[in-house]
């Protein structure tokens, strides 16, 4: 019975994360409230709690209610054998470092997350990763690194009509890079796609 309940809760946590990625703030808030109640009643499943804490950290990032991620560091012991949690830990920590404008640290964390990305089956999660890493490389003027990441992100986002805004954002940044490097005709082609 508890395994079924944990499975249902895990699906709901994944649904919360999808709402966060899509920036569906109201739906995410509703799900988070429901999950907060569930986790008060949940028997201790350390991995489920760690997963939920990571997603809650990402929720706080979405709302920009950030504090130092001490609670994330406490999860490291649970992460050793779980690729998904490992990925989320590095990916969310990278987003936090980016938010704090520690771009080199963010790149290092994204590189760690990328090592776990092969274990992630969700195509939109791949798109989100490539987009975030590409934007980070763009911020530090590593255009040679940013372009392939942003192009991959754009192609993943093109697979789902719910991600058209993200696809256009990636397309726009690709155009910006080409414009900044003097490749105006190529840049124009990207801008026209927007």
3-class SS string, the chain: CHHHHHHHHHHHHHHHHHHHHCCCHHHHHHHHHHHHHHHHHCCCCHHHHHHHHHHHHHHHHHHCCCCCCHHHHCCHHHHCCCHHHHHHHHHHHHHHHHHCCCHHHHHHHHHHHHHHHCCCCCHHHHHHHHHHHHHHHHHCCCHHHHHHHHHHHHHHHCCCHHHHHHHHHHHHHHHHHHHHCCCHHHHHHHHHHC
Return the percentage of the chain with pLDDT > 70, whole number.
87
Q: Where in the chain is the domain with CATH 1.25.40.10?
A: 82-193
> What's the pLDDT tens digit per position in 104-149?
999 999 999 999 999 888 899 999 999 999 999 999 999 999 999 9
Read off the pLDDT of residues 151-170 as tens digits, 9 standing for 90 and up.
Answer: 999 999 999 999 999 999 99
* pTM of the predicted model as reported, rounded to 2 decimal places: 0.70
Please check whether the domain covering 82-193 is classified as CATH 1.25.40.10.
Answer: yes
């Amino acid at each position: 019975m508890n395994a079924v309940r944990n499975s249902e809760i895990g699906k709901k946590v994944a649904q919360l994360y999808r709402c966060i990625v899509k920036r569906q703030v109201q739906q995410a808030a509703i799900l988070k409230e429901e999950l907060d109640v569930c986790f008060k009643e949940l028997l201790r499943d350390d991995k489920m709690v760690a997963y939920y804490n990571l997603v809650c950290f990402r929720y706080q990032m979405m709302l920009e209610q950030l504090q130092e991620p001490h609670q994330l560091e406490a999860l490291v012991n649970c992460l050793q054998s779980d690729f998904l949690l490992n990925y989320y830990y590095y990916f969310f920590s990278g987003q936090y470092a980016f938010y704090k404008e520690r771009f080199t640290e963010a790149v290092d964390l994204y590189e760690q997350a990328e090592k776990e990305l092969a274990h992630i089956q969700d195509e939109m999660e791949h798109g989100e990763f490539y987009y975030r890493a590409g934007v980070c490389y763009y911020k530090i003027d590593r255009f040679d690194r940013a372009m392939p990441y942003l192009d991959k992100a754009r192609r993943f986002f093109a697979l789902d009509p719910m991600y058209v805004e993200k696809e256009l954002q990636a397309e726009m940044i690709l155009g910006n890079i080409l414009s900044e490097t003097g490749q105006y005709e190529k840049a124009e082609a990207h801008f026209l796609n927007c």
